[in-house]
Every structure is written in C-alpha cells, then in structure tokens.
Amino acid sequence: MTFRLHNFFRSSTSTRVRIALNLKGLSYGYVPYLLRKGETRTPEYLARNPQGLVPTLELEDGTSLTQSLAIIEWLDETHPAPPLLPADSLGRARVRALSFMIACEIHPLNNLRVLFRLRDQFGADEAAQKEWFTHWVNLTFDALEVELADNAPTGRFCHGEVPTLADICLYAQVWNNRRFDIPLEPWPNIKRVFAALDELPAFHDAAPPNQPDAA
Amino acid sequence: MTFRLHNFFRSSTSTRVRIALNLKGLSYGYVPYLLRKGETRTPEYLARNPQGLVPTLELEDGTSLTQSLAIIEWLDETHPAPPLLPADSLGRARVRALSFMIACEIHPLNNLRVLFRLRDQFGADEAAQKEWFTHWVNLTFDALEVELADNAPTGRFCHGEVPTLADICLYAQVWNNRRFDIPLEPWPNIKRVFAALDELPAFHDAAPPNQPDAA
C-alpha cells in the first residue's frame, strides 16, 4: 500500500504519525503544507480534512484518515508488527493514559493556533506565550515524571523495553518544547527516555529538522 | 467486578466514563470530588492519579485507571458487549477521529483549570472566558457538522445505528457547552444526534444534573 502523509515538519502531531510509519517500516509520500500561509485552509485540503489540520494520512484509494492518534491506532490494527501497544489490557490502558496525558493535556493548549488566539484575544506577546506554554508542560510533565519514576512497568522506554504509543507522544512533545527552550533537567526519567528514543532511527528520522520542508 | 468511579458530576470527562459504564451495564460506586475545594489535590488522591484530575476508575484490586479515553478503551477491551467501536478498522478510525476532535481540540481548551489560568494570567473575566470557550467549540463543531452531514456512515448516531465512543464524547461536550449557554442551532446534525442520545437511559442517566453530587 502506498501512503501519502499531508503534514508539516514542525507539527508535533505530524511527527507522531511519521514515527509510527517508520516503526512499522512503511514508506510514504511526504506532502508538506505551510500552516502560516494557510495551505491547510484551501477547499481542496478541507475536503480531505474539514478541520484544516495536519496530519492527514491518504490511503492508496484516496481515503483520508485524520487525527494523529486515530491514524496511529489504525496503523497498529492494520499493520500489527511491531505492536505499538502492549498485549495486556492493563498495559494498554497505561500506555494510552500516558499518551493522552500529552495528547489531551499539553499539546492542545500549546499549538500554534492557540498561541495566535492568545495573542489576538489577550494581546499575549512572546514572553506571555512562553509563560503559558511552559505552565502546561510543567504541570503534566511533573505528573508524567511521577508515573515513569514510581511505576514498575517503566523500562528503557515509557512502558518496558520496546517503544509504544506513549513514547511516540513523548518524543514529539519534547521536540515541540524546543520552541520555547524548555530544558528537561527537572524530569530525569523523561530526559532518559527521550535520549533512548533519539537513538532509534524510526524516531530520529521523524524529528522536525530531518524533514524535507525544514528550511 | 466492583468498580469505584472517582469523579465530579459536572466534569465532561467523568460524564464520558459514566456513559461507558452504563452502556456496558456495569454498576459502580460513585465517589464525588469537589474540584474547587482541591479535593483532587490531596496526597491520597494524587497517589491514585498524579495529575490530580478526574475521573479515576478504581478496580476491585485497587488498581487505578486514569484518562477517560484510556479507561473507555480498557472497558471496551475487557467487556466487549456492546462494542463502543465498530468492527471494521476504517470505521474504528473514523469513530476515534470524531472522538479526538472533541477530546483533543475542544475539551482541553475549555476545562475549568484553563479558564482559571486565563483569569489569572490575562485577567479574563466571565465574558472573555465565554468568548474563548465559544471560539473553540465553534471551530470544531463546524468541522464536526461537516463530518456528520457529508459522510455516509453517519446514521441515527455519529456512526451508524448504535452509540459509539464518538457519541460519548459528543454528548458530554454538549452538556459542557451549557456552562456558557451555547445553542446547537448552527449544527443541525449535532443537535439531532444529541437529541437521539438523550433518549437513551445510558446517556441520560450519566448527565451532570442526574448525579448524586449535583447540588
């Protein structure tokens, strides 16, 4: 099957899907969009993705899949090896919970359209945007650090010795944090897991600076 | 198995889990928390849920599951009937994408701690908070309406003739919108699906005003 990934190098949700495709060993066509130029607001793109967001995964028959975590769950169901979720239900619940901590409690508050909205509605300058961004990262990374530090299933990665959906979300978020230069020192387990992930080509190759549209 | 649900009547993520438990026909002990009084910030609760958020589903052996969507996926895996996701992978991808539209693009921006942060960091009064809240609902409900209106799999509910995870998220979000009196008239399909869901006891009984801690 040939995939086309409609995405943007710096988008954290795009990074997640690139990692998943790499882990599954699936090649894909890279279709870049410049968000600031409104390239995801065209009638053609909105027909694929009514939210006008990246990423969209286009399947060979033209079907468009949206929302990064839904795309990754689909990839995991249709291309089971290697699995991105543990085999046991409690392990799956833990990995999904760690993933949603990032995907529901950090990323939605800190993406570009939210920062623009803070600027437009409240006049938030760069410093105020950084304060906002950092607040949400700190709040959830503090709790994530506890989950990783105190929890037996944590291994080399967030859950055991093979990368999972939680690692995908973590890796993409740490890259996102670099927008505001947030150091990882307060969270030694997060820092350790990120370093281990960065050694894996599937992750490293999906990082923002390694994409064709990274200027 | 006996469940205890640590939750709050008005919490939209709590509502989601209550609906899922009802749909599965699972009874549970209702443990209410007053968020404004910091009852989820105690050492005892933080040991269950390091994020200090509701809901937490406590299993019979004391295991705590967190993050509403991870809890619901766990319930669906361990108590498969009736299923909360379609049987086919593309259908599952669509239902999860509709769910994440709400769970990742609306709810995280509009919950209580975000409104408090807007007040504290930017001095946002009730009117400014309503403008913010409404902005994110409108943005995603407009796209959700397109997904429901133009898409063959839409039926009496978001996806076909039986309620799914997407309906759970939709129903809870519409209740959340009432905080700022957002009428559903701009979105006829969302309005229609909500009305159909509200006729089902599993949904109606999980609604905020029907909980023991609703004052």
For chain B, the C-alpha Rg in angstroms (whole number) is: 17
| pLDDT value of position A150 | 76
**Is B200 in CB contact (< 8 Å) with chain A?**
no
Cα dihedral B87→B201→B74→B105 (10° resolution): 80
pLDDT at A96 over 90: yes
Q: How confident is the model at residue A98 (pLDDT cuts 50, 70, 90)?
A: very high
Cross-chain CB nearest to A114 (options B66, B109, B121): B109
> Which residues of chain A from 94 to 113 reach within 8 Å of chain B, CB to CB?
94, 96-97, 99-101, 103-105, 107-109
| pLDDT value of position B167 | 98
The DSSP code for B5 is E
pLDDT at B110 over 70: yes
Considering the segment(s) B3-82 as one domain, its CATH architecture is: 3-Layer(aba) Sandwich (3.40)
Task: Calculate mean pLDDT across residues B16-43.
Answer: 96
The pLDDT tens digits of the residues spanning A7-65 come to 999 999 999 999 999 999 999 999 999 988 999 999 999 999 999 999 999 999 999 99
How is chain B split into domains, by residue range?
3-82, 89-204
A146 contact residues in B (CB cutoff 8 A): 50
**Is A143 in CB contact (< 8 Å) with chain B?**
yes
Quote the CA–CA distance of A167 and A158 in Å, as a whole number: 6
A70 contact residues in B (CB cutoff 8 A): 93-94, 96-97, 99-100
Inspect the interface and report whether the beta carbons of B143 and A51 lie closer than 8 Å: yes
Q: How confident is the model at residue A168 (pLDDT cuts 50, 70, 90)?
A: very high
pLDDT at B148 over 90: yes
Q: Is the ipTM of this complex over 0.85?
A: yes
pLDDT at B98 over 70: yes
Residue B209 distance to chain A (closest CA, Å) = 25
CATH class for domain A89-204? mainly alpha
| pLDDT value of position A35 | 87
Beta strand extents in chain A (DSSP E only) = 3-7, 28-32, 56-58, 64-66
B71 contact residues in A (CB cutoff 8 A): 93, 97
* Average pLDDT across chain A, whole number: 97
Give the nearest chain A residue to B114 (CA atoms). A109
Distance of CA A190 to the CA centre of its chain: 15
Q: How far is CA B181 from each of CA B27, B124, B132, rounded to the nearest angstrom? A: 32, 18, 13
Phi, psi of B142 (to 5 degrees): -60, -45
**Is A134 in CB contact (< 8 Å) with chain B?**
no
| pLDDT value of position A1 | 67
Tally of residues, chain B: 215
* Average pLDDT across chain B, whole number: 97
**Which residues does residue B4 pair with via DSSP β-bridges, in sequence order?**
B29, B58
How many other β-carbons are positioned within 10 Å of the β-carbon of residue A97? Answer: 24
Inspect the interface and report whether the beta carbons of B50 and A96 lie closer than 8 Å: no
| Percentage above 70 pLDDT, chain A | 100
| pLDDT value of position B86 | 98
**Is A124 in CB contact (< 8 Å) with chain B?**
yes
**Which residues does residue B66 pair with via DSSP β-bridges, in sequence order?**
B56
**Is B132 in CB contact (< 8 Å) with chain A?**
yes
**Is A129 in CB contact (< 8 Å) with chain B?**
no
Q: How confident is the model at residue B1 (pLDDT cuts 50, 70, 90)?
A: low
pLDDT at A215 over 80: no
The pLDDT tens digits of the residues spanning A103-150 come to 999 999 999 999 999 999 999 999 999 999 999 999 999 999 999 997
Q: How confident is the model at residue B114 (pLDDT cuts 50, 70, 90)?
A: very high
**Is A147 in CB contact (< 8 Å) with chain B?**
yes
pLDDT at A195 over 80: yes
Q: How far is CA A47 from each of CA A128, A168, B102, B135, rounded to the nearest angstrom? A: 35, 28, 19, 22
User: Which residue, among A11, A67, A139, would best test binding to B if mutated, counting the most B CBs under 10 Å from its CB?
Assistant: A67
B69 contact residues in A (CB cutoff 8 A): 96, 100, 104
CATH assignment of A3-80? 3.40.30.10
| pLDDT value of position A192 | 98
